[in-house]
Structure 1
Amino acid sequence: MKTISIVVPVFNEEDNIEHFYESVCKVMESLPYDFELIYVDDGSKDRSREILCSLEKQDERVQSIFLARNSGHQLALTCGLDNADGDAVITMDGDMQHPPELIPVLLEKWEQGYEVVQTIRKTTEGVSAMKKLTSYYYYKVLNKLSNVHIQEGGSDFRLMDRVVVKAFRRYREHARFIRGMIGAMGFRQVQIEFVAPKRFAGVSKFSPRKMLNFAIDGVLAYSNLPLRLGLYIGTISGLISLLMILHVFVSKYVLNDAVAGWATLTACVLFFGGMQMIVLGILGEYLGRVFEEVKHRPLYLIARGKPKDEMDRD
């Protein structure tokens, strides 16, 4: 019988863990598959770890991995994928916004031969209009900048065949945007749309700062256009400065109307100084990521669990 691994990152979800566990078990026990439920606790400060230990004792299908510190949602997912042994792996959040009732649909598509079954969130119940708007335009901008198409509304609720998981384990960059990584890998993919319900309990742990960092990672991981944009800005600024120098010479030697214009001078200094800072900031973002990668530090550290050997993930 085929085995399905379900990977769930957890961060301060004490009110959701047991309900999610019961919902997933109810769905999976009605299907002709064995399954394992892998929780990756990403440095929770509430009772999440205590609850996970309790579930492990009562159900051998539950495995818990405790990270040494909060490493972030994408690295927690990576840790789960590194330690999943199923013929197919489903990644999903444990707050019930990724409905377990959709699992049979993912498995049906997998049985039809698709190696990646990606869910597309049409909308989220109760989400603000501002968040919908920013998400919509973010993906629009990202796809304009990137050579890899990233589906609008894409989520980390997906199924991956064992072959895809093995391939994914070869990607070891620190700044992770898994939605883009999976899309860029190829394989035979299909998409399923769904409406995300409200969280079962608690509030989102994805703060505006984390959302901003996640958005920046998505842009910088799949496009070098910002670097070229810096070149374009510098070129345009240089041309404008040449025009302004020409204006100065005409005023001085042709019109004989040169007036000390501190306002014009100040505006020019601020404009070109600002352009330089923009370009330096873009360079700094890329160099910062290079700096992180060349140190070759581990993506995450496990405080408790059974991690696979770094060189034996297959």
Structure 2
Amino acid sequence: MKTISIVVPVYNEEANLEHFTQAIYDVMAKMSYEYELIFVDDGSRDGSRAILQKLQDKYDWVKPLLLSRNCGHQIAITCGMDHATGDAVITMDGDMQHPPALIPTLLDLWEKGYDVVQTIREATEGVSWFKKTTSKYYYRFLNAMSETEVYPGGSDFRLLDRQACDALCQYREHDRFIRGMVGTLGFSQAQVSFTAPERFAGTSKFSVKKMSKLAMDGILGYSVVPLRIAFYLGSLCALFSLLLFAHVIVEYLLGNVLPGWTTIMVCVALFSGVQLMLMGVMGEYVGRIFKEVKNRPLYMVMEKRGDYTHGKARKVEKVELGE
């Protein structure tokens, strides 16, 4: 019998965990699969860990992993995939905005031969106009700059075949944008559209700061275009400065030189701003290189709860297509 691993990152979700677990049970109990539900607690500060212990005592297919600190949503998903041993791995959030009722559809497409089944969020109930608009144009901007296509509305609710999951687990960069990483795998992929309902309880843990970081990871992690833009912008500014210099020489020869304090200040401010911007872009890339060369672990698992005899972390080895 095939086994399905469901990976769910958790951060201060005490109000959602029991309801979500029951929803998973209601769906999976009707299907002919063995399954495990891997909750990765990402350093929660509420009662999430106590609830996970209660769920693990009640259901042997619930397997909590407790990280030593908050590492971020994308790292928590990675940890869960590293430990999952199912023939297929489904990643999703536990706030019910990724509907468990959609799981049979993902599995059906997987059984038809697709290695990756990606869900596409067409709309989200209760989301502000600002978030919808920024998300829409962010994906357009990202795809215009990157060689890897990321589907607009793509979410972290997806199914990965065992081979695709093992391949993705070989990606060990620290600043992770899994939606883009999946697009680089090259496996056969299907898409499923859905409308995300409102959260069952609580509020979103994705602050503007976290969303901005994820957006930056998507842009800088899969494109060198910002560096090229910096070069082109610097070239244009250099050309502009030469034209300005030529203008000053002509005015000097014509005897029309007047005190130009305002012009000087405007030019200094303009070029200083451009230089700082270009240094900032390069600094972002250098900072990411600095993180990678230290080669520190992506995460630390403080405690594994449940039976991991058949669900222990696998050594991630190189996967060749066709194995």
**TM-score (norm: length of structure 2):** 0.95
Report what 1:276 is aligned to.
275
Structure 2 counterpart of 1:80, one-letter code: G
Q: CA deviation at 1:13?
A: 0.3
User: Structure 1, residues 250-287: CA drift from partner, whole Å, max 9, x if none?
Assistant: 0001x210001100000000111111111100000000
User: Structure 1, residues 80-137: CA drift from partner, whole Å, max 9, x if none?
Assistant: 0000010000000000000000000000000000000000000000000010000001
Give the distance between the partners of 2:156 and 2:183, measured in 1 at CA. 12
Gaps of 5+ in 1: none
Q: Is the 8 A contact 1:119 1:157 kept in 2?
A: yes
Report what 1:308 is aligned to.
313
Give the distance between the partners of 2:87 and 2:149, measured in 1 at CA. 27
2:49 is the alignment partner of 1:49: yes
Q: Is the 8 A contact 2:166 2:316 kept in 1?
A: no
User: Structure 1, residues 212-264: CA drift from partner, whole Å, max 9, x if none?
Assistant: 000000000000000011100110000000000000000001x2100011000
Report what 1:184 is aligned to.
184
Q: Is the 8 A contact 2:83 2:314 kept in 1?
A: no
Report what 1:7 is aligned to.
7
Give the distance between the partners of 1:170 and 1:215, measured in 2 at CA. 22
Structure 2 counterpart of 1:183, one-letter code: G
Report what 2:69 is aligned to.
69
Give the distance between the partners of 2:293 and 2:84, measured in 1 at CA. 27
Structure 1 counterpart of 2:265, one-letter code: T
User: Structure 1, residues 7-28: CA drift from partner, whole Å, max 9, x if none?
Assistant: 0000000000000000000000
**TM-score (norm: length of structure 1):** 0.98
Structure 1 segment 139-288 matched on structure 2, within 5 A: 139-253=139-253, 255-288=254-287
- RMSD (Å), alpha carbons: 1.2
Give the distance between the partners of 2:185 and 2:193, measured in 1 at CA. 21
Count of aligned pairs = 313
Report what 1:102 is aligned to.
102
Give the distance between the partners of 2:200 and 2:191, measured in 1 at CA. 25
Moved over 3 A (4+): 309-314
Q: CA deviation at 1:308?
A: 2.3
What SS does the aligned partner of 1:185 have? coil
What SS does the aligned partner of 2:157 have? strand
Give the distance between the partners of 1:276 and 1:313, measured in 2 at CA. 42
Report what 1:289 is aligned to.
288
Q: Is the 8 A contact 1:117 1:192 kept in 2?
A: yes
Residues 310 and 108 of structure 1: is their aligned pair in 2 closer, same or farther, counting only changes over 3 Å? closer
2:140 is the alignment partner of 1:128: no
2:23 is the alignment partner of 1:23: yes
Q: Is the 8 A contact 1:169 1:313 kept in 2?
A: no
Give the distance between the partners of 1:286 and 1:120, measured in 2 at CA. 30
Structure 2 counterpart of 1:210, one-letter code: K
